[in-house]
Amino acid sequence: EDRPISVPTIELTEYLVYTKKGTSIDFNAYLVDALQGETSLKNKVTVESNVNFNEPGTYHVHYYVTDSDDLRGHSVLTVIVEE
């Protein structure tokens, strides 16, 4: 029996956040859940970031999750570091 292919989805509380120069934020605090259908994969989410909290600018935080079928879900949090 074939089952439908469903790529995991990652839900964040926000997709755009602002912070002041020198003030770091916890990227995991924005992760609501990662779902494969009804199954939570939240504990398998990895976070990649190049945010420099000491340098004003726009940065992206990437959240990834891979399910047992090697399907990959992806979501992005944009972080703006202000002077």
pLDDT in tens, 47-57: 999 999 999 99
The 3-state DSSP composition of the chain as helix, strand, coil percent (nearest 5) reads: 10, 50, 40
Reply yes or no on whether the pLDDT at 42 is more than 70: yes
pTM: 0.92
**Better-predicted residue by pLDDT, 1 or 35:** 35
**Res 5: pLDDT:** 74
**Res 51: pLDDT:** 98
Reply yes or no on whether the pLDDT at 2 is more than 90: no
Give the Cα separation of 71 and 36 in Å (integer).
10
pLDDT in tens, 22-34: 999 999 999 999 9
